[in-house]
Amino acid sequence: MPMVEVAGKSFEVDEEGYLTNLADWNKEIGEYLAKDEKVELTDSHWEVINFLREYYEEYQIAPAVRVLTKAVAKKLGPDKGNNKYLYELFPYGPAKQACKIAGLPKPTGCI
Amino acid sequence: MLHIVNKSATERNSLESCLRMATKGSAVLLIEDAVYAVTSGGEAAAKIQAAMPDLQIYALGPDLEARGMAGRVLDGVKLVDYGGFVDLVTEHNTCQSWL
Amino acid sequence: MSDMMDDMEGGEGVVKKFMFVNRKAPHGTVYALEGLEVVLISAAFDQDVSMVFTDDGVYELIKGMNTKGIEVKDFSKTYRALEGYDIEKLYVEKTSMDARGLTEDDLIVDVTVLDSAEMASLMAEQDVVISF
């Protein structure tokens, strides 16, 4: 398995760069993974990342993008729970890319 | 003799065969999906209770917890953890796994 | 499937009645988890999905699981996410519940309890039945 090094510690990732062990994750790793994805993290990004981690904690899965969109709309309002807003934050897909930065596995159903 | 059963008694006949063959004084350890048999209210519970005068019944605690069944265990069943599983194996000369 | 495909809604396709039948206890075999993942994936295709729990499958929905000791994922929490995937038709068979001393209160999600005849006719009206 490939490893990434953040702040002097090594962490295992899978062949697509998703963190292998959910519990390894911290903000610094999130920032490292975001840089790798060429995403500059703002408070709006963190809001979605934290939302995803809470979702995973509650349901033990990373949501599919339309489920994420709907759940964000419910929690953070319709101005954030829509494709345009989420794709602007995470151009390569709010589910795939944001999950990676959040240290979650790839959403079920993505290849 | 220690008998080990790991299949659900409501799906296969492993437990039934085991209880038919286990001689008085033997130990029976239920693990994995077999642990449902020691929970109250189910059809398999009656078979376990009928066997209890002759056999000591054990069940693996972590498997009961993983299945949300730890609070329903029949009286007289002894719970063991993985260390207790190893102890049971070493205490008995022979083991029969009813796969 | 990519996010884009995942995002296709409505579409032109025909909506069929899909039933996923779950008959295995969780953890002891991989069927329960695999079946759940297939259902989650199927949700992207906007079909008319029902999930049925019979025999040892009813054990999949028991609340209060703690899988730390056996070091596997507690996917029972994921059944609660099904609603967000618009999969809301969950059925359990009464006979199977009774045989295991279980009631609706023991389950982690809201379900419809059917007797065997009702379950049989529900099964008979499906276009596709997939079993785990």
Q: Do residue C100 and residue B7 have CB atoms under 8 angstroms apart?
A: no
A65 phi and psi angles, rounded to 5 deg: -60, -40
In sign, the C-alpha dihedral spanning A98, A100, A103, A105 is positive
Per the structure, the count of domains in chain B is 1
**pLDDT tens, residue order, chain A (111 aa):** 788 888 888 999 998 889 998 889 999 999 999 999 999 999 999 999 999 999 999 999 999 988 999 999 999 999 999 999 999 999 998 888 999 999 998 887 654
Between 3.40.1710.10, 3.90.550.10, 3.40.1260.10, 3.40.50.1820, what CATH number should domain C14-65+80-131 receive? Answer: 3.40.1260.10
Flag whether residue A9 sits within 8 Å of chain C, measured between CB atoms: no
Distance of CA C113 to the CA centre of its chain: 13
Q: C52-105, pLDDT tens digit by residue?
A: 999 999 999 999 999 999 999 999 999 999 999 999 999 999 999 999 999 999
The owner of tokens 């730390």 is C68
Flag whether residue C10 sits within 8 Å of chain A, measured between CB atoms: no
Domain residue extents for chain C: 14-65+80-131
* CATH code of the region A3-101: 1.10.10.370
* C-alpha gyration radius of chain C: 15
Does residue B3 contact residue B29 with C-beta atoms inside 8 Å? yes
CA angle centred on A57, ends A51 and A59, rounded to 5°:
100
- Closest approach of C100 to chain B, Cα-based (Å): 4
Q: What was the pLDDT predicted at C11?
A: 54
Least CB-CB distance to C6: which of A60, A66, A92?
A: A66
Flag whether residue A21 sits within 8 Å of chain C, measured between CB atoms: no
Using an 8 Å CB-CB cutoff, list chain B residues near C132: none
Q: Which of A67, A71, A73, A110 is catalytic?
A: A110
User: DSSP letters of B21-82?
Assistant: HPPTT-EEEE-GGGGGGGBTTSHHHHHHHHHTTTSEEEEEHHHHHHTT-GGGBPTTPEEE-H
Does residue A80 contact residue C13 with C-beta atoms inside 8 Å? no
Q: Do residue A66 and residue C9 have CB atoms under 8 angstroms apart?
A: yes
Flag whether residue B7 sits within 8 Å of chain C, measured between CB atoms: yes
Domain residue extents for chain A: 3-101
Touch between chain A and chain B (3+ CB pairs, < 8 Å)? no
Using an 8 Å CB-CB cutoff, list chain C residues near B81: 69
Using an 8 Å CB-CB cutoff, list chain C residues near A60: 73-75, 77-78
Whether pLDDT at C4 is above 50: no
Domain that holds residue B61: 2-98
